[in-house]
A and B are shown apart, each in its own frame.
Chain A
Amino acid sequence: MFNPAANLKVDRRDGKLAMAHFYVAFTALAIGGLAGLLQTLVRSGKFELPAGIGYYQILTVHGVVLGLVLTTFFIMGFQLAATSKTSGTFTKKQRITGWVGFWLMTAGTVLAATMILLNEATVLYTFYAPLQAHALYYIGLTLVIVGSWVDGAAIIMKYAEWRRKNPGQPSPLLTFMSLVNTMMWIVATIGVASTVLFQLLPWSLGIVETVNIGVSRTLFWYFGHPLVYFWLLPAYMAWYVVIPKVIGGKIFSDSLARMSFILFLLFSIPVGFHHQLMEPGIDPAWKFLQVILTFLVVIPSLMTAFSLFATFESFGRAKGATGLFGWLKKLPWGDARFVVPFIGMVTFIPAGAGGIVNASHQMNQVVHNTIWVTGHFHLTVATSVVLTFFGVSYWLIPHLTGRKLTKAMNKLGIIQAVIWSIGMTFMSGAMHAAGLLGAPRRSSYSEYGGAAQAAEWIPYQVAQAIGGSILFLGIILMLYIFINLAFFAPKGEQEFPVGEAADEAEKAPMVFENWKLWLGITFVLILFAYTIPFIDLIQNAPPGAKGYKLW
C-alpha cells in the first residue's frame, strides 16, 4: 500500500542517532568477545589470567557487555532506523528524545562497566542477591533500562503521529513490529527495575539491612525471559520484512506477521517461572501453569517458520524452480544480506528444540544450570540473533553512512558467517554434551579434587576453547567489516530493503492496532500467572538475607 510518509532513505539526522547506537554496540562486541575468548581459554585448563584478574570478573564483563549492552544498543538503533524509514523522519522533539535515551544508556553502561573493572560488581549480569554489588553498579544498570524507555518513547511518539495522520490505516509493518517489541520491553523491564530500585539499591546503600530473595529472583525472571524475546523479535523483523525484499520475493502475509508479533507480546512475559523450576518457595502447580504459557510461543514460532519458507518457495517457483526442493537453488547464495541471516534461521531449529527441553518442567532437572544452558543460548542469541544482526549491518550501516557494501565486503561477510558457524558448532556442541554429563555453567576450571566425573568434562572444555578461538576470529572479521562500512567503504547508495506483502490488496485488520485490547490481555495474563504465587512469596517469606561480597 502507498505510504507517503515512508522515506526512500533514512534521514541523515536520524541516521546519526542510529549510528551512535551501533558504535556502542560494536565496541561492546569487541570487549565482550575478548572476555568470552579468555573464559574458554581459562576453562580449558591450559591458560591462566594475568595480573590477578578473576575469571568471574571477566564473566561479568562478558554477560553485561554482550547480553545487555550489545543487544539493547543494536536493537534500539535498528528499530529507530526502521521506524524513521517506514513512518517518516523523526520530528525534532522525537529525535531529541532518542538522543536523551542514548546518552542515558551510555552513561549507565560506563558507570556499570567502571564498577565491574574496579572489581566492585563481580556478580554476573544476573546479580542474584544476596551477593551484593556496589550501589553504582545497580544505578548504572537502572540508567541503561531507563534510557531504553526514553529511546523507546521516540518510537512510540512517531507511531502515534503516523496513526493520527493516517486515520483508519494499519501502520507500516516495520514500525508496527518495532512498537510491539518496545512495548513488550517496557512492560517486562518494570520487573527488573522494581527489584533494583526498591530492593537492591536501598540494600546496597545500607538503608535496609536485608532483602527478600524469593521476590527479587521472581522480579528478575519476570524480566529475564521476555529479555530473550526482545533480542529475538528484531531478528524476526529482518526475517519477515527485509529478507523477502533482499531475495526479490514478497512477504507471505502482512496480517499473519502482525498476528505472530501480537502473540509474542502476550506470551513472552507471564513465563518467568520456567527459569525458577528448581527453586524452593514456589508451588509446583504455578510453575506448571507458566510452563504451559511458555509453550504457547510455539504457535507464533511455527507461523514464522511457515511464512519464511513459504516466501522462499514462492520466490523459487516464480523463478521456474521445479521438484520438491528445486526452489532452494534459486535463492541468492552469494548475497551476504540473505545468507548470513539464513544461517541464523536454520540455527534456530536446534536452538528452539533445546529450549523446549529446558522449559519442560521436570526435564529441566537434567540440564538446569549445567553448561548445556550456556550452549543453548549461544545458539539462540549468539548465533540466530547475532548473525541476523550482522546480516542487517551489512546493508544498514552503509545505508546510514552513505556508503556501499562492496563485493569484497559481501564475500567477507559470508566468510564471517561460515567461521562463526564452525566455531559455534565446536563450542555450543561441546557445551551441550558436557552439560548432559553434568558440567556446571558459570564455573572456572576445576578438577573437583580429582573426581572421575569432572575429568570427563575436560576434553569438552578444550573443544569449547577451540570453538571460542574460532569465534574470536569471527569477531575480529566482523569488527573489520563494521569499520570498513562505517568509515572507509566507497560512497554510494545502499538500499534499505523493505518487503511488500503478497496479500497487499488485503488490508491488515485494524484490531491489531488496538493497544488497549492487547496490553489489556497482556496484563490480565501477567496477573493470572503471577498474583497468587507472588503474594505467597511475600506472605510466607523467611527472614531476609544480608548482603555478601564473596569475590
Chain B
Amino acid sequence: MHMHKFEKAWLIFGIGSLLVFLTVLGVSAFYLGNQPPSCLATIDPEKVDTTAPFNEPGLKKVEGKDWDYELVFVASAFSYSPASVEVPYGAKVKIIATTKDVVHGFEVAGSNINMMLEPGYISEHITTFDKTGEYLIVCNEYCGVGHHMMSSKIKVVK
C-alpha cells in the first residue's frame, strides 16, 4: 500500500500534535491533579436525609483538612437544598452533593464547577472561591417538567 510523501508528512505532524496535546491533558490530570469529578463513594438514595453529611445541607467550617469548609447540597426534583448560601471570599471549599430521586446536574454558571448528581452516588469537587459576586447554580441534566426552574445561589462575600 502506497502512501504519498505529503500525506506521510501531514500524518506525522498531526499525530505529533495529538501526542503533545494528550501529554498536556495527562500532566494536568495526573501531576497537577486536575481530574474531572469522579467520586467513588455511594449512598442509599432512599436515606439521603438521614445520612451524614446530607442530613445538614449548607456550609460548615471544618478543621484539620486540606479545605476550610464543606458545602453540602441535596438535589431533588426540582430544587436544591440549600436554596442559597453565602461563602466567604477566598475560602477553599469542598462541595459535596447528591440526589434523592432522578439524575440532576450541578453547574455553577461562569465557573468550572460542573458535575452530574446520580441517585446512589456522591459527587465532590474542591474549589477556591477567589472572586466575589453571586453565582447561579443550575440543573443542567433534564430531570422532569420543572427542570428549568431548578436553581440555587452561591454568594461569595468579603
Which residues of chain A have a CB within 8 Å of any CB of chain B?
A: 54-56, 59, 122, 124, 128, 130-131, 213-214, 217, 253, 255-256, 259, 276-284, 287-288, 291-292, 295, 298-299, 302-303, 306, 310, 356, 360-366, 368-370, 437-446, 448-449, 451-454, 503, 506, 508-509, 540-545, 548, 550-551
Q: How far is the CA of A282 from the CA of B115 in the complex (A)?
A: 13
Establish whether residues A361 and B25, one from each chain, have CB atoms under 8 Å apart when the complex forms. Answer: yes
Specify which chain A residues have a CB less than 8 angstroms from the CB of B128 in the assembled complex.
none
Residues of B within 8 A of A (CB): 1-4, 6-7, 10-11, 14-15, 18, 21-22, 25-26, 28-30, 34-46, 77-78, 101-103, 105, 107, 109-110, 112-116, 118-123, 134-136, 138-149, 151, 153
B102 in contact with A131 (CB, 8 Å): yes
Q: List 29 A-B contacts (CB under 8 A).
A: A54-B145, A56-B144, A128-B142, A130-B119, A131-B103, A253-B2, A255-B2, A259-B1, A280-B37, A280-B122, A281-B118, A282-B38, A287-B38, A302-B10, A306-B6, A310-B6, A361-B29, A368-B114, A369-B114, A443-B140, A444-B147, A445-B148, A446-B148, A446-B151, A451-B151, A541-B42, A544-B120, A545-B119, A550-B145
Chain A residues with CB under 8 Å of B110's CB are: 437-438, 453
Residue from B28, B107, B121, B122 within 8 A of A369 (CB atoms): B107
Q: Is the CB of A543 within 8 A of B148?
A: no
B42 contacts A542, C-beta separation under 8 Å: yes
Contact A369–B141 (Cβ < 8 Å):
yes
In the complex, which residues of chain A have a beta carbon less than 8 angstroms from the beta carbon of B118? 213-214, 217, 279-281
Query: How far is the CB of A543 from the nearest CB of chain B, in Å?
Result: 5
Contact: B151 with A295, CB < 8 Å? no
Report the Cα distance A366→B11, complex, angstroms.
30
Closest to A436 in B: B110
Cα distance, A442 to B42, chains bound together (Å): 27
- Are B38 and A213 interface neighbours, CB within 8 A? no
Contact B105 A213 (CB under 8 A): no
Complex Cα gap A366–B109 (Å): 9
Residue on B nearest A43 in the bound complex, by CB: B148
Q: Among A213, A302, A441, which residue has its beta carbon within 8 angstroms of that of B140?
A: A441
The answer to whether B11 and A303 touch across the interface, beta carbons within 8 angstroms, is yes
The answer on a CB contact under 8 Å between A453 and B36 is no
- Besides A284-B35, A438-B107, 15 more A-B contacts (Cβ < 8 Å) are A56-B145, A130-B101, A214-B118, A253-B3, A278-B114, A280-B115, A288-B30, A361-B36, A362-B28, A368-B140, A369-B141, A438-B110, A440-B138, A454-B109, A540-B42
Interchain CA distance A393-B36 in the complex, whole Å:
43
Q: Determine which of A131, A295, A364, A542 lies in contact with B121 in the assembled complex, contact meaning CB atoms within 8 Å.
A: A542
User: Are B116 and A279 in contact, with the CB atoms below 8 A?
Assistant: yes
Residues of B within 8 A of A540 (CB): 40, 42
Q: Is there contact, CB below 8 Å, between A550 and B144?
A: yes
- The reply to whether A448 and B36 form a contact with Cβ atoms under 8 Å apart is no
| A residues less than 8 Å from B123 (CB atoms) | 280
> How many pairs of residues, A versus B, come closer than 8 Å at their CB atoms?
228
B29 surroundings in chain A (CB, below 8 A): 284, 288, 361-362
Residues in A with CB closer than 8 Å to B6 are: 306, 310
| Known contacts A281-B118, A310-B7, A361-B29; A128/B42 CB under 8 A | no
What is the CB-to-nearest-CB distance from A312 to chain B, in angstroms, rounded to a whole number?
14
Query: CB-nearest residue of chain A relative to B134?
Result: A452
Q: How many angstroms from the CA of A544 to the CA of B42 in the assembled complex?
A: 11
With known contacts A446-B149, A453-B109, A440–B120 Cβ distance under 8 A: no
Report chain A residues within 8 Å CB of B145.
Answer: 54, 56, 122, 550-551
Closest B residue, CB atoms, query A371: B140
CA distance A542 to B122 in the complex (A): 10
Is B140 in contact with A440, judged by CB distance below 8 angstroms? Answer: yes
Q: Find the B residue at minimum CB distance from A446.
A: B148
Closest to B41 in A: A280
- Interfacial chain A residues near B77, Cβ < 8 Å: 548, 550
- Residue in chain B with minimal CB distance to A511: B1
User: CB-CB < 8 A to B1: which residues of A?
Assistant: 255-256, 259, 506, 508-509
A284-B36, A438-B107, A446-B148 known; A503+B45 contact, CB < 8 A? no
B36 touches A542 (CB 8 A): no
CB < 8 Å neighbour of B25 from A253, A362, A454: A362
Bound: A508/B37 CA distance, A: 46
Q: Write the nearest CB–CB distance from B22 to chain A, whole angstroms.
A: 6
Q: How far is the CA of A395 from the CA of B30 in the complex (A)?
A: 52
Q: Which residues of A contact B136 (CB under 8 A)?
A: 438, 448, 451, 453-454
**A255–B2 Cα gap in the complex (Å)?**
8
- Distance in angstroms from B151 CB to nearest chain A CB is 5
Contacts of B134 in A (CB 8 A): 451-453
Selected from A54, A295, A366, A370, the residue in CB contact (under 8 A) with B18 is A295
User: Which residue, A437, A439, A442, A509, has most C-beta atoms of chain B within 10 A?
Assistant: A442
Contacts of A306 in B (CB 8 A): 6-7, 10-11
Chain A nearest CB, measured from B131 CB (Å): 13
Contact A542 B148 (CB under 8 A): no
Given A437-B110, A453-B110, A213-B141 contact (CB < 8 Å): no
Q: Let me know if B14 and A298 touch, CB within 8 A.
A: yes
Instruction: Tell me, in angstroms, the Cα distance from A388 to B11 when the chains sit together.
Output: 25
Known contacts: A213-B118, A291-B25, A295-B18. The answer to whether A448 contacts B140 by CB under 8 A is no
* Residue among A214, A369, A544 with max Cβ neighbours from chain B (10 Å): A369
